[in-house]
Amino acid sequence: MNYRSIEILTIACLAVSLFACKGPKSYKENPDFKVEKAEFGMTKEGEPVQIFTIENPNGVKVKLTTYGAMLTELHVPDRNGGFTDIVLGFDDLESYLAGHPYFGVIAGRVANRIAKGKFSLNGKDYTLATNNAPNHLHGGENGLDKKVWKAEELIGSNAVGIRFAYSSPDGEEGYPGKLDIVVTYTLTEDNSLVIEYEAVTDQATPINLTNHAYFNLAGEGSGTILNQQMQIFADHFTPVDDTLIPTGEIGPVKGTSMDFTQPMTIGSRIGKMVGDPGGYDHNYVLNKKQPGQSSLAVRVKDPSSGRVMEIYTTEPGVQFYTGNFLDGTLEGKAGNAYQKNDGFCLECQHFPDSINQPNFPSVVLNPGEKYTQTTIHKFTAE
């Protein structure tokens, strides 16, 4: 089967699955899909936080918490049916509250960087936190990753999910407009984790939402991802300055260490990605026939376990980040000290600094419009 037919099949399956997953239904009607809710602790402000476990009939298990609408665990099978948790993170809420590099969170209001934390919209200048000096990163000091979201369980005959909602007040973190956001994670019977985003605003505002999971297909805490084979369906990328802000060019990957149009191990040329701390932290311009159309963006394979992850997205770009800032100081799950390159992120999104880059697709949401994005992570083993 070629990629195109897999893509059509996946989208067809998704449509069927999600159709069956509209609105909460009783768990008893759907015993093969499971959802469990537990208390996860309290924020420093005393807000209770819940954690949900959802599971499909194949034993794929996902944990999601209301803190940051975060994906904290993802257990998928290898070629022999052995399950492992393939996302980096912690076992307890306290460790997340103590600060971390966006493990599994929903990043926003504007994920990625805004140059110098400044932009103008409809004749007005806005200044945001420069929390990644000299730039603004992932929505600021107290972004969506640090909010407690409302949660609703969704159980259908073909899927199980959690729908998170958060209403960001006008002016929060310096962004204009009240922004109402809904993010739904759905686990389907074909081992896909679907993340759908929706938002509406009452004033024009920039928006760029993504999930920031760190993956290691051999299992979190199992060492580096450098032997895993990456294929990114992008002929172009957005070259950046030394503060990781795009220059505005759309550069070809051909002939550079950025070229993953054919499967290559992540480590094959990573040493050539110079700078401090080095490695990949770049936005790829996905090959698309139509803007906004879901297409296969990435295929990653771990040769040791046989696990394969395919990502389909409606977004124009994907930030490929190789965990360059991990330095062994964070004690993750079961005390695993995460080192540089122990996980990779594939953040499906609009291009960095789009609000200041007239040549990039717009990230402005106006009143009366609906922001949507859908990203599918499909797991198989070979």
Q: Which is nearer to ligand GLA, 110 or 159 (CB)?
A: 110
Which range binds ligand GLA by CB under 6 A, 22-30, 157-165, 252-260, 319-327?
A: 319-327
Beta strands in 169-306 (DSSP E): 179-188, 192-201, 205-206, 210-211, 229-232, 236-237, 251-252, 264-265, 281-285, 295-301
Find the binder of ligand GLA among 37, 325, 327, 359 (CB under 6 A): 325
- Under rule CB under 6 A, which residues in 135-154 are in contact with ligand GLA? 137
Which residue is catalytic, options 100, 136, 212, 236? 212
Residue 115 touching ligand GLA (CB under 6 A):
no
* Sheet containing strand 61-65, strands side by side: 34-42, 48-55, 61-65, 70-77, 83-85
Q: Which is nearer to ligand GLA, 55 or 145 (CB)?
A: 145
Find the binder of ligand GLA among 101, 248, 278, 361 (CB under 6 A): 101
Nearest distance from C-beta of residue 282 to ligand GLA, angstroms: 8
Residue 347 appears among annotated catalytic residues: yes
Residue 236 appears among annotated catalytic residues: no
Which range binds ligand GLA by CB under 6 A, 64-72, 199-207, 307-315, 318-326?
A: 318-326
Nearest distance from C-beta of residue 114 to ligand GLA, angstroms: 12
Under 8 Å between Cβ of 368 and 204 = no
Counting every residue written for the chain, the total comes to 382
Tokens of 371: 């922001």
Tokens of 128: 């945001």
Which residue is catalytic, options 73, 173, 315, 347? 347
Q: Quick one: the chain helix, strand, coil %, rounded to 5?
A: 10, 40, 50
Q: What phi, psi does 144 have (nearest 5°)? A: -60, -25
Size of the site for ligand GLA (CB under 6 A): 11
Q: Cα–Cα distance between 84 and 339 in angstroms, integer? A: 19
Q: Which is nearer to ligand GLA, 182 or 348 (CB)?
A: 348
Residue 345 touching ligand GLA (CB under 6 A):
yes
Site string for ligand GLA, 5-44 (x = CB under 6 A): ----------------------------------------
Q: Cα–Cα distance between 348 and 346 in angstroms, integer? A: 6
Question: Residue 181's beta-bridge partner residues?
Answer: 166, 199
DSSP H or E stretch at residue 83: strand 83-85
Nearest distance from C-beta of residue 212 to ligand GLA, angstroms: 6
Find the binder of ligand GLA among 17, 231, 319, 336 (CB under 6 A): 319
Q: Cα–Cα distance between 159 and 194 in angstroms, integer? A: 10
Residue 260 touching ligand GLA (CB under 6 A):
no
Find the binder of ligand GLA among 321, 338, 344, 351 (CB under 6 A): 321
Q: Is 54 exposed, middle or buried (0-12, 13-18, 19+ CB in 10 A)?
A: buried
**Closest to 321 in 3D by CA, of 299, 340, 307, 295:** 340
Nearest distance from C-beta of residue 104 to ligand GLA, angstroms: 12
Nearest distance from C-beta of residue 248 to ligand GLA, angstroms: 18
Site string for ligand GLA, 273-312 (x = CB under 6 A): --------x-------------------------------
Under 8 Å between Cβ of 98 and 105 = no
Nearest distance from C-beta of residue 283 to ligand GLA, angstroms: 8
Compute the half-sphere exposure of residue 61: CA atoms within 13 Å on the CB side of its CA. Answer: 12
Nearest distance from C-beta of residue 132 to ligand GLA, angstroms: 6
Positions that interact with ligand GLA (CB under 6 A): 101-102, 112, 137, 244, 281, 319, 321, 325, 345, 347
Residues catalogued as catalytic: 212, 347
